[in-house]
Amino acid sequence: MSDFKKSILQITTLEELTQKKTPVHRLQPSVKLLITVIYLIAVISYSPYQVSGLIPFIFYPIILMTLGEIPFKPLFQRILIALPFTLFTGISNLIFNKEITLYVMNIGITEGMVSFCSILLKTILTVMAVLILISTTSINDLVYVMIGFRIPSIIVIQIMMTYRYINVLIGEISVMYHAYILRAPKEKGIKLKDMGPFLGQLIIRSFDRADRIYNAMKCRGFEGDILYARKEMISTKSWIYIVTVGCLLILMRLVNISEEIGKLLM
């Protein structure tokens, strides 16, 4: 199977996961989005030199993945895609911040190492939280919840359209790539000197397509806003879930549970 078809398959796998009927899937979409946002804020708000406080936050996605019957491997593969960017960002910390902050078995741990680990852990936790959200909630439901939360239409439309047309874009890249390779049989991939025109053509085609899609939307009365949002009343059960889990996450953020446990054990 070609790499492009594999990419399309990876996207559709996540879509198929949303069809399951587990306790996590049954949660209302607005509840899942709200808790995910609280989780993300809690994780991101840690300072770069705090790592121990982040460790308890690992349990939340693990519990959700277990209850939601979400296979770990596909999620982990997607997390790996995000890691190179994090590594690239974090490496500067390792190089420039060499002040020793503590010793572990006579090995000096620099502030750079601590902040690097913090960035890495934050990336893994936040990406996992978002992937769990989109594995348990259909994009349609998410779009309507976002509109209900008064997130600007323009942002919601961007998310919706990106999701809808990513398959088309990958398909287009696949066609162009195969057309190239069939006329350059000795090459393994696109030559660097041809990458510019290749990407340029892709951008032009994307603009043309976007223009046609926008015209099609205008022809059906679109004027910039998604006018429809399913009015979803949050049930009592959902409120209990929001309050319980929300408070738990806030408590985990305010109290360094790892430190407290460490103190108890010592």
Residues of this chain that bind another protein (CB under 8 A): 12, 15, 138-140, 143, 160-161, 163-165, 167-168, 209, 212-213, 215-223, 227-228
Nearer to another protein, 82 or 209 (CB): 209
Of 72, 187, 171, nearest in space to 124 by CA: 72
Question: What element of type H or E holds 101?
Answer: strand 100-104
Nearer to another protein, 14 or 40 (CB): 14
Q: Is the C-alpha dihedral spanning 197, 202, 206, 212 positive or negative?
A: positive
Q: In the bound complex, what is the minimum distance in angstroms from residue 146's beta carbon to another protein?
A: 14
Q: Is the C-alpha dihedral spanning 162, 218, 146, 238 positive or negative?
A: negative
Q: In the bound complex, what is the minimum distance in angstroms from residue 229's beta carbon to another protein?
A: 10
Spatial distance between the Cα atoms of 196 and 203, rounded to a whole number of angstroms: 11
Q: Which residue has the tokens 């000197």?
A: 193
Q: In the bound complex, what is the minimum distance in angstroms from residue 127's beta carbon to another protein?
A: 22
Question: What element of type H or E holds 15?
Answer: helix 3-17
Of 264, 259, 258, 243, nearest in space to 55 by CA: 258
Nearer to another protein, 89 or 162 (CB): 162
The number of CA neighbours under 13 Å toward the Cβ of 145 is: 19
Q: In the bound complex, what is the minimum distance in angstroms from residue 220's beta carbon to another protein?
A: 4
Nearer to another protein, 40 or 169 (CB): 169
Nearer to another protein, 120 or 222 (CB): 222
Nearer to another protein, 75 or 143 (CB): 143
Three-state SS annotation for 150-162: CCCHHHHHHHHHH
Nearer to another protein, 85 or 207 (CB): 207
Spatial distance between the Cα atoms of 9 and 15, rounded to a whole number of angstroms: 10
Q: In the bound complex, what is the minimum distance in angstroms from residue 120's beta carbon to another protein?
A: 33
Q: In the bound complex, what is the minimum distance in angstroms from residue 8's beta carbon to another protein?
A: 9
Q: Where are the alpha helices (DSSP H) in 57-138?
A: 59-67, 72-96, 111-136
Q: In the bound complex, what is the minimum distance in angstroms from residue 157's beta carbon to another protein?
A: 10
Spatial distance between the Cα atoms of 138 and 15, rounded to a whole number of angstroms: 7
